[in-house]
Amino acid sequence: MSATLLSLAGVFLSTYLYLYKTGRIGTLACGTGSCEFVQFSSWSSFLGVEVSVIGIAGYLALFGLSLGTLQSPATERGWPSLALLLLALGGVLFTAYLTAVELFVLHAICRWCVGSAVIISLLFTVALLDWRRARP
Protein backbone atom coordinates (compact mmCIF):
# COMPACT_ATOMS: atom_id res chain seq x y z
CA MET A 1 0.00 0.00 0.00
CA SER A 2 2.83 2.36 0.87
CA ALA A 3 4.44 1.73 -2.51
CA THR A 4 1.15 2.56 -4.26
CA LEU A 5 0.78 5.84 -2.37
CA LEU A 6 4.42 6.79 -2.89
CA SER A 7 4.31 6.06 -6.62
CA LEU A 8 1.08 8.08 -6.97
CA ALA A 9 2.81 10.98 -5.23
CA GLY A 10 5.70 10.54 -7.67
CA VAL A 11 3.34 10.65 -10.65
CA PHE A 12 1.89 13.97 -9.46
CA LEU A 13 5.28 15.45 -8.65
CA SER A 14 6.68 14.54 -12.09
CA THR A 15 3.53 15.80 -13.80
CA TYR A 16 3.83 19.10 -11.92
CA LEU A 17 7.41 19.52 -13.14
CA TYR A 18 6.43 18.58 -16.69
CA LEU A 19 3.56 21.10 -16.72
CA TYR A 20 5.94 23.74 -15.41
CA LYS A 21 8.55 22.99 -18.05
CA THR A 22 6.00 23.21 -20.83
CA GLY A 23 4.64 26.53 -19.57
CA ARG A 24 1.23 25.30 -18.50
CA ILE A 25 1.33 26.34 -14.85
CA GLY A 26 3.36 29.54 -14.75
CA THR A 27 5.77 29.67 -11.86
CA LEU A 28 7.22 26.82 -9.88
CA ALA A 29 6.73 26.89 -6.11
CA CYS A 30 10.39 26.57 -5.24
CA GLY A 31 11.20 28.93 -2.39
CA THR A 32 14.92 29.64 -2.29
CA GLY A 33 16.00 26.64 -4.36
CA SER A 34 17.41 26.66 -7.88
CA CYS A 35 14.48 24.89 -9.53
CA GLU A 36 14.34 27.06 -12.67
CA PHE A 37 18.06 26.77 -13.26
CA VAL A 38 17.96 22.99 -12.93
CA GLN A 39 14.75 22.57 -14.92
CA PHE A 40 16.00 24.60 -17.85
CA SER A 41 19.54 23.28 -17.91
CA SER A 42 20.70 21.00 -20.69
CA TRP A 43 20.63 18.17 -18.14
CA SER A 44 16.85 18.32 -17.82
CA SER A 45 16.52 15.85 -20.66
CA PHE A 46 18.04 12.40 -20.97
CA LEU A 47 18.68 10.89 -24.42
CA GLY A 48 16.36 13.52 -25.84
CA VAL A 49 13.52 12.78 -23.43
CA GLU A 50 12.44 15.19 -20.70
CA VAL A 51 13.47 13.88 -17.29
CA SER A 52 10.00 14.73 -15.98
CA VAL A 53 8.44 12.56 -18.70
CA ILE A 54 10.76 9.70 -17.70
CA GLY A 55 9.60 10.31 -14.12
CA ILE A 56 5.93 10.15 -15.07
CA ALA A 57 6.43 6.93 -17.03
CA GLY A 58 8.54 5.36 -14.29
CA TYR A 59 6.19 6.24 -11.45
CA LEU A 60 3.17 5.10 -13.47
CA ALA A 61 4.87 1.74 -14.03
CA LEU A 62 5.69 1.52 -10.31
CA PHE A 63 2.08 2.43 -9.51
CA GLY A 64 0.79 -0.37 -11.75
CA LEU A 65 3.22 -2.93 -10.33
CA SER A 66 2.43 -1.93 -6.75
CA LEU A 67 -1.26 -2.43 -7.47
CA GLY A 68 -0.29 -5.84 -8.88
CA THR A 69 1.42 -6.82 -5.64
CA LEU A 70 -1.76 -5.98 -3.71
CA GLN A 71 -3.72 -8.63 -5.60
CA SER A 72 -2.05 -11.53 -3.73
CA PRO A 73 -1.07 -12.28 -0.13
CA ALA A 74 2.45 -11.12 0.82
CA THR A 75 3.97 -14.60 0.52
CA GLU A 76 2.55 -15.27 -2.96
CA ARG A 77 3.44 -12.12 -4.83
CA GLY A 78 6.22 -13.61 -6.94
CA TRP A 79 7.21 -11.62 -10.04
CA PRO A 80 5.30 -8.37 -9.32
CA SER A 81 7.36 -7.94 -6.16
CA LEU A 82 10.60 -8.61 -7.98
CA ALA A 83 9.63 -6.34 -10.87
CA LEU A 84 8.68 -3.58 -8.43
CA LEU A 85 12.02 -3.96 -6.66
CA LEU A 86 14.04 -3.90 -9.89
CA LEU A 87 12.19 -0.90 -11.30
CA ALA A 88 12.56 0.97 -8.00
CA LEU A 89 16.27 0.13 -8.06
CA GLY A 90 16.47 1.58 -11.56
CA GLY A 91 14.73 4.69 -10.27
CA VAL A 92 17.17 5.02 -7.39
CA LEU A 93 20.18 4.71 -9.71
CA PHE A 94 18.74 7.24 -12.19
CA THR A 95 17.99 9.62 -9.31
CA ALA A 96 21.52 9.19 -7.99
CA TYR A 97 22.85 10.16 -11.41
CA LEU A 98 20.60 13.25 -11.55
CA THR A 99 21.53 14.26 -8.01
CA ALA A 100 25.22 13.92 -8.85
CA VAL A 101 24.66 16.20 -11.86
CA GLU A 102 22.94 18.75 -9.62
CA LEU A 103 25.69 18.66 -7.01
CA PHE A 104 28.83 18.38 -9.12
CA VAL A 105 27.95 19.80 -12.53
CA LEU A 106 25.21 22.37 -12.02
CA HIS A 107 26.08 23.18 -8.39
CA ALA A 108 22.37 23.77 -7.82
CA ILE A 109 19.60 21.88 -6.11
CA CYS A 110 15.94 21.75 -7.05
CA ARG A 111 13.73 21.00 -4.07
CA TRP A 112 11.26 19.07 -6.18
CA CYS A 113 14.08 16.82 -7.37
CA VAL A 114 15.02 16.22 -3.75
CA GLY A 115 11.36 15.38 -3.10
CA SER A 116 11.41 12.83 -5.90
CA ALA A 117 14.67 11.39 -4.56
CA VAL A 118 13.05 10.90 -1.14
CA ILE A 119 10.00 9.25 -2.74
CA ILE A 120 12.01 6.82 -4.85
CA SER A 121 14.31 5.95 -1.92
CA LEU A 122 11.33 5.19 0.32
CA LEU A 123 9.69 3.26 -2.50
CA PHE A 124 12.82 1.17 -2.98
CA THR A 125 12.97 0.42 0.76
CA VAL A 126 9.30 -0.62 0.81
CA ALA A 127 9.76 -2.73 -2.34
CA LEU A 128 12.82 -4.43 -0.82
CA LEU A 129 10.94 -5.32 2.37
CA ASP A 130 7.98 -6.55 0.33
CA TRP A 131 10.22 -8.69 -1.87
CA ARG A 132 11.90 -10.23 1.19
CA ARG A 133 8.49 -11.09 2.61
CA ALA A 134 7.41 -12.58 -0.72
CA ARG A 135 10.43 -14.91 -0.96
CA PRO A 136 9.55 -18.54 -0.27
Which positions lie near other proteins, rule CB under 8 A? Answer: 1, 4-5, 8, 11-12, 15-16, 19-28, 36-37, 39-40, 70-73, 76
Q: How far is the CB of 23 from other proteins (least distance, A)?
A: 3
**CB of 14 or CB of 95, closer to other proteins:** 14
User: Which one, of 98, 126, 120, lies nearest residue 9 by Cα?
Assistant: 120
Q: How far is the CB of 74 from other proteins (least distance, A)?
A: 8
**CB of 78 or CB of 90, closer to other proteins:** 78
**CB of 15 or CB of 90, closer to other proteins:** 15
Tell me how far the alpha carbon of residue 98 is from its chain's centroid: 11
Q: CA 79, CA 115: separation in Å to the nearest integer?
A: 28
- Angle subtended at Cα 84 by Cα 81 and Cα 86, rounded to the nearest 5 degrees: 110
Q: How far is the CB of 36 from other proteins (least distance, A)?
A: 4
Do 118 and 132 meet the contact criterion of CB atoms below 8 Å apart?
no
